Amino acid sequence: MKEIFDPLLTFPDGCRVGRLQHRLNRFHVEVALDGLRVGVHCNNSGSMLGLLRKGAPALISPAANPHRKLRYTLELIQVGRLWVGVNTQTPNRILHQAWKHGTIPEIRGYSRYRAEAVAEHSRLDACLEARASSLWVEAKNVTLVEDEVAYFPDAVTERGRKHLRELMSLASKGHRAACFYLVQRSDARCFGPADFIDVEFTRLFWEALDAGVEVWPYRARVSPQGIGLHTRLELIPRIRS
């Protein structure tokens, strides 16, 4: 029996599949579409290691603002038969939809959801509130997988380190704090910090876990029809020096 896929997020009308050409800069890629090279907005500031192969199929969505200079946004890149979600806004949107639908057990029971909530020294992706408690969450997009292990980050990330420090500070004051890692590809079996890319982030990751910050790595269901949630992944064993 064919599995029924019910995405939490669906892509808008007007999406197209072209062929990736190259990345011009941090926020701009070129995609071949209908015999032309089209400039496409890319909001993923990471390296997208292993994904930027010339000629790879790429799903692009139309901009909500028809007057935007780059009329499309990069959503997915196909690697072999595997679709990988590269839009870094997707984890935030999935988190919000999961709260609405009760899809993630860790966030059930909270009656209010505030996006882009200001914490002590930075802005975090969400603050969920109940009558007597609050939960601060930062959402991250994961696209790097090697030997069935999903890794974050795929480039050195000072911003990611800052968020871990902020979450640790909140946890030390009695708040519930967590990081939601959305693995936007289906070939991962577990998750861990990429010590071979950012040693300091990895140190802070394990320090945050020891300090009470929760880590929720979830594998997504990714297709040109939309994005859904699959299973929560186990963490890789911690190697202590």
Do 164 and 153 meet the contact criterion of CB atoms below 8 Å apart?
no
In residues, how long is the chain? Answer: 241
12-16, 99-103, 121-125: the lowest-pLDDT one? 121-125
Q: State which CATH number among 3.40.50.280, 3.40.1350.60, 3.40.50.300, 3.60.21.10 fits the domain covering 90-235.
A: 3.40.1350.60
DSSP string, 122-164: SEEEEEEE-SS-EEEEEEEEE-EEETTEEEE-SS--HHHHHHH
Strands 214-223 and 234-235: unpaired
Give me the helices (H) in the chain, please: 90-101, 158-172, 199-210
Instruction: Report the percentage of the chain scoring pLDDT > 90.
Output: 90
Contacts of 8 (CB under 8 A, 6+ apart): 94, 97, 98, 101, 103, 226, 227, 228, 229
pLDDT at 64: 87
Q: Give the architecture (CATH level 2) of 9-85.
A: Beta Barrel (2.40)
What are the pLDDT digits (tens) for 69-115? 999 999 999 999 999 999 999 999 999 999 999 999 999 999 999 99
Contacts of 101 (CB under 8 A, 6+ apart): 8
Domain spans, the chain: 9-85, 90-235
pLDDT at 5: 62
Averaged pLDDT, 130-137: 92
